[in-house]
Amino acid sequence: MKFGLIGHNISYSKSKEIFDSMGIEYKVYDVSCVEQGIELAFADKLDGFNVTTPFKYDIIEYLDGLMPEAIKSQSVNCVKVWRDNYIGDTFDGRAFGASLDHYISNHDNWEFDFPHNIAILGNGGVVPSILSNIHETIDGVDSKHEIHVFARNPKNDELKLSDFNAKEFDLIVNTIPFKSKIDINFNNEHKFIYYDLNYADDTLIKKAERNSHCSWAINGMDMLERQAEMSLNWWNI
């Protein structure tokens, strides 16, 4: 069985490395448009493939069906070929949630069931899935929570990235691609968690760790590895 990854400007991707270590035949398709990626996946007779920046939303119109989580978030990061149909799902939120829970469950270094004040940096394709997972998690928690999305080009009720102040939050999730070169002033004066999806650049991870109030600075590689495992399970490997 053969699998792959479709994206644009993704030379930094570690997905092939992860799947290769599992003995899975896996190819990266760095393409200029989602149509080209679909055509190559079909030509190579892939049994399934992952989808990354910037095609997580654009690919939906080319699929034959969506799983419930993909419908809710309107985002796809995994496609399964089933009876010649292309079915989309997303494991972004579930992988993020499982990763974060792994750290939060270590109560020796964290005093809350779940962070109360949450900042999401960026509004790209992965954000709807992460927001969905956070909302599902806090629905079962009694205490008050606030979630704010900050972006360079905010939409609807999102806020400007320039207005972000780290010390107001106890969970900061950075989804902005590392090539965009943002900086964060970790001026936090209470315990906080920094989660950086940019596994290819640990500059901000190291900066967060220098703040003595940082409980964890988490590299997105943990989330990526969990996504790979979830993809394999869905592909029945």
CATH topology of domain 93-223: Rossmann fold (3.40.50)
- Across 198-223, b (16+ Cβ under 10 Å) vs e yields bbbebebbebbeebeebbbbbbbbbb
pLDDT digit string, tens, across residues 158-175: 999 999 999 999 999 999
pLDDT for res 195: 97
* pLDDT tops 60 at residue 142: no
For the chain, which residues make up each domain, given as ranges?
2-90, 93-223
Which of helix, strand or coil describes residue 74? Answer: coil
Fold equal for 2-90 and 93-223: yes
Domain 2-90 class, CATH top level: alpha beta
How much is the average pLDDT of 202-207? 95
The length of the chain, given as a count of residues: 237
pLDDT for res 109: 66
pLDDT digit string, tens, across residues 39-74: 999 999 999 999 998 999 999 999 999 999 999 999
